[in-house]
Chain A
Amino acid sequence: MLLWTIIKVALGSLLANKMRSFLAMLGIIIGVGAVISMLALGAGARHQVMNRITAMGTNLLVVRPGGAQRRGVQSGSRESLTLGDAEAVLQSVPDVQALAPLVRGRAQVKYFNANTDTTIAGTSLSYLAIRGFELAKGRAFTSVEEDYAARVAVLGSAVSTQLFGERDPVGERIRVKNVNFRVIGVLKAKGDQGWFNPDDMVMVPYLTAMRRVLGQPYLDELDVQAQDAATLARVETQITSLLRKRHRIRAGADDDFHVRNQAELIEMASTVTRTFTILLGGIAGISLLVGGIGIMNIMLVTVTERTREIGVRKAIGARDRDVLSQFLIESILISGLGGILGIVLGFGVAGILSGLSDYQTVVETQSVILALAVSGSVGVFFGYYPARRAARLDPIVALRYE
């Protein structure tokens, strides 16, 4: 029998019992809807974390003074990283795309009677590219301004708003710790990342910060961008061995600095969100199982009700497999239709969730495909037993059935 004819017959019998078909579908609708929306919640969490991590920059290594923390005690000096180290890394480690020294401190910034307490980041031009900042207005400082410790500042968008409101700050003079600075640019907002706000800072050349504002001869951080993700690990070991040599650390002794790898952060974050997603998806999957049992129940009732019809079909030449496929397709239609409606429901719930709360939700294509595949398989799995029962009916017995 042609597939289309079987589908037409199956659709006909579903429509003949609209309420019952819908109730049988409801379990699948709710199950698929739950799976889709829960996976969307998990994917949303993952995207959020990934955005935060990539907002910090890509292929990034962060070198900080002081050894790795052990039981809350930091070994090594906080003053071990110098501009000389930065120069050496840039000169002798291959595959370093860019490097930015960083000194950091809190300070009050004033413009007439407006003032704000913010982070002063003394760094180089390359910091913008490494950390993925873009300019909204004006320009960044030049290498000449870096070398001569010029008193120029690039404002983070939050600081710009605090001090200037809607006005254009480029060309204005601000005071940082009683030193006059000329504002030459404003950064585009990156958005609050939860644990820190990258827009709440004032960027000045590192020499200016070290000599005129913070008065510290050592670096707080060295940001290194590797050529690509593949070279990240090699760059990391080369920096480690170079700095150990420069700092004259004997073999076996602890480093007086530590290198943090962004890939490790991503790895950790995705492990956490994966567990979260599996947990949510698993709970939602149970409701899908319950939906499947509902379909099996309805199909068993249908087969019993239509025993005589099965007998007639067999008498006029239906083979066992014709009857099997008829009932199997009926249950696949129930679960497949339920799956499609469930996907619609899932999109709706995901939308409502992200509308009503801070949680971001992302419905991924693969979770839609997964939901369709699973609901289809539920139809096959839970429809097979009733369909086989129908197919194996003895035509004589079925014809006599009242």
Chain B
Amino acid sequence: MMIETRALRKSYQLGETTVRALDGVDLAVREGEMLAITGPSGSGKSTLMHILGCLDTPDGGEYVLAGEDVARLRKDRLAAIRNRRIGFVFQSFNLLPRLSALENVELPLLYGGRHDAKNAAAQALETVGLRERMRHEPSRLSGGERQRVAIARAIVTHPAIILADEPTGNLDSRTGDEILALFQRLNADGRTLILVTHSAHVAAHCGREVGMRDGRVVNGG
């Protein structure tokens, strides 16, 4: 198993009330899967995604990522896990505006202390089909191209999983489909992907769909 969670719990204090964002989530993702997590707003899919992405730690339960228990690690270890084992793709791309596409893709390698950053980054851009535009800043790229750069940044460290949060949400449907096709190609190459979405269209392109409601997995788990 690439990802295995057992009875994950997480709650927030919102004023007087306690919100149970995750209320015992059991999830298993095999290596090479392409999984969609769906559910309405407030179902806990964003919280689950943050915990799976090691941006947050659960209050209780277990989370094993590629054989390593990551539920209760300290901040620096979590940063290292995010750097090496997880690739993030955001809805709003989140590229650094002053850096070129190549420099954006290099960034995770630099934080990881790698020395061959330039070559590896160029290779990742080639994989997403943007090699000839790697000197451009994000402002000179189209939305689809920006998301390709973001995907290149996510895959450059060869992470165990790629987490995408509404990756087509800011794109028109044609560009969205292109990005979705890119994800499918990456999956066909053996990469494990988890897409958080509330688009049924996106979910239909994934190998498996996991539905969430009120902090629990309601189907597909």
Which A residues fall within an 8 A CB radius of B? 1-2, 5, 12-13, 16, 308-309, 311-322, 395-396, 399
Q: B74-91: which have CB < 8 Å to A? A: 75-76, 79-80, 82-84, 88, 90
A-B pairs with beta carbons under 8 Å apart, 24 shown: A5-B110, A311-B94, A312-B95, A313-B111, A314-B79, A314-B82, A315-B53, A315-B55, A315-B88, A315-B94, A316-B83, A316-B153, A317-B79, A317-B82, A317-B83, A319-B76, A319-B79, A319-B80, A320-B75, A321-B76, A322-B111, A395-B55, A396-B55, A399-B55
Q: Which of B83-118 contact A (CB under 8 A)?
A: 83-84, 88, 90, 94-96, 98-99, 107-108, 110-113
A313 neighbours in B (Cβ, 8 Å)? 96, 107, 111
Give chain B nearest CB distance to A312 CB in angstroms.
5
Residue numbers in A under 8 Å from B110 (CB-CB) = 1-2, 5
Q: Beyond A316-B107, A320-B75, is A396–B50 a contact (Cβ under 8 Å)?
A: yes
CA distance A317 to B84 in the complex (A): 8
Q: Which residues of A contact B177 (CB under 8 A)?
A: none
Q: State the Cβ distance, B13 to closest chain A Cβ, in Å.
A: 15
Binding site for A on B (CB under 8 A): 50, 53, 55-56, 75-76, 79-80, 82-84, 88, 90, 94-96, 98-99, 107-108, 110-113, 153, 157
- In the complex, which residue of chain B has the Cβ closest to the Cβ of A311? B94
B75 touches A319 (CB 8 A): yes
Q: Which residues of A contact B56 (CB under 8 A)?
A: 396
Q: How far is the CB of A154 from chain B (nearest CB, A)?
A: 76
Contacts beyond the supplied A308-B94, A399-B90: 13 A-B pairs with Cβ under 8 Å? A12-B98, A16-B98, A312-B96, A313-B96, A316-B108, A317-B79, A317-B111, A318-B83, A319-B80, A320-B76, A395-B55, A396-B55, A399-B94
Complex CA gap A107/B90 in Å reads 99
Closest to B85 in A: A317
Provide the bound-state CA to CA distance between A314 and B112, in Å.
Answer: 12
Q: A309 near B96 (CB under 8 angstroms)?
A: yes
- The interface residues of chain B lying within 8 Å CB-to-CB of A315 are 53, 55, 82, 88, 94
Report chain A residues within 8 Å CB of B83: 316-318
A312, A313, A315: most-surrounded residue (chain B CB, <10 A): A315
C-alpha gap A395/B55 in the complex (Å): 7
Residues of B within 8 A of A308 (CB): 94
Docked complex Cα distance between A58 and B64 (Å):
83
Indicate the member of B83, B84, B112 with the most A CB atoms within 10 Å. Answer: B83
Asked if A318 contacts B98 (CB within 8 A), the reply is: no
- Min Cβ gap B197→A in Å is 18
Residue of B nearest to A400 (CB): B46
Q: Which residue of A lies closest to B82 (CB)?
A: A317
**Alpha-carbon distance between A45 and B82 when the two chains are bound, in angstroms:** 62
> Once the chains bind, are A316 and B88 in contact (CB under 8 Å)?
yes
Give the distance to chain A from B55, nearest Cβ to Cβ, in Å: 5
**Closest-CB distance, B127 to chain A (whole angstroms):** 17
Q: A317 touches which one: B80, B90, B94, B96 (CB < 8 A)?
A: B80
Nearest CB of chain B from residue A10's CB, rounded to whole Å: 11
Contact (Cβ within 8 A) B94 A312: yes
Q: Which residue of B lies closest to A1 (CB)?
A: B110
A378 to B213, CA, bound (A): 53
Chain B residue contacts of A314, Cβ below 8 A: 55, 79, 82
State A13–B98 Cα separation when bound (angstroms). Answer: 8
Closest to A5 in B: B110
